[in-house]
Structure 1
């Protein structure tokens, strides 16, 4: 069964770890992570590291950033999604950090305002930008 670990829970669980990176925008972005969790439910050995938490408050910022940095580093794959209408400055930073890692899978809705920035930068490093969340999910190879 798929295990979902949500910030700030301990992410050090054995399995194929996939970090659900991308727009949260302090909770204002659509909860696309829930769609990924539903689509990948039931996969044996899969551990989804989900930074979106129900109880987030700005006083927990340092804890949140630390959790995300540690979990990103430990992940086997990073699913990065930019939905339309989001701003996602932290996700853009994380994209830059992991473009050359070999573990980043990237997707952006055609309505995402900075999609062209992602397309050109990703192309430079030989990475595809998927145009839908289902396509991004399907790009995750079996562990």
Structure 2
């Protein structure tokens, strides 16, 4: 089925959606974003009756927000509106530290809409141990590959659909 990609600060539609939470590479750096692979994994697996909206905190065309609060406000609203919040944390303290992601996960862990993906082969997997602990305390699914994390996020979307929450 189809995917509708919504970039940072664009209008947030209603309907089934997944927010892609996790560290964002810095503009002009040499680290590629993991989000295109996440969109691909979601698109491959989505079988819902209509389109799935994927909300990304990255900016269309790399255009940054004029004001920090505009970006943070949009991300907060998008995470709150999302049917599922997919956290992917390929922790690398040098290039993808994810410090903001830690706070966001703490805010969303008890929502019933979060999934946590932490690859064991990332540069600093030991820095994800506490998040994994918190996830388990809150019943958040924990996965080790991006594909499995996408599967878990779509299971939350399917459950919300079955329960008439969408």
Q: 2:107 aligns with which of 86, 92, 97?
A: 97
Q: 2:90 aligns with which of 61, 83, 89?
A: 83
Where does the alignment leave 5 or more consecutive residues of structure 2 unmatched? Answer: 162-166
Q: Does 1:10 align with 2:5?
A: no
* SS, match of residue 3 in structure 1: strand
Aligned mates of 2:67, 2:126 — CA distance in 1: 28
Where does the alignment leave 5 or more consecutive residues of structure 1 unmatched? Answer: none
Report the CA distance between 1:90 and its aligned residue. 0.8
Q: Which protein has the bigger helix share?
A: 2
Give runs of aligned pairs for residues 1-143 of structure 1, distance below 5 A.
Answer: 1-11=2-12, 13-27=13-27, 30-41=32-43, 43=46, 44-53=50-59, 54-57=61-64, 59-85=66-92, 86-110=96-120, 111=122, 112-139=125-152, 140-141=154-155, 142=158
Q: TM-score under structure 2 normalisation?
A: 0.76
Aligned-residue CA RMSD (Å): 2.0
Runs of 4+ in 1 over 3 A off after TM superposition: 25-30, 56-60
Worse overlay, 108-117 or 83-92: 108-117
Larger Rg: 2
Report the CA distance between 1:123 and its aligned residue. 1.8
Aligned length: 142
Q: TM-score under structure 1 normalisation?
A: 0.87
* SS, match of residue 91 in structure 1: helix
Please tell me whether the aligned partners of residues 30 and 83 of structure 1 are also in contact (alpha carbons under 8 angstroms).
Answer: no
Report the CA distance between 1:113 and its aligned residue. 4.2
CA-to-aligned-CA distance 1:64-110 (integer Å, 9 cap, x gap): 11110111111111001101422101111010001110000111111
Worse overlay, 66-75 or 45-54: 45-54
Q: Which protein has the bigger strand share?
A: 1
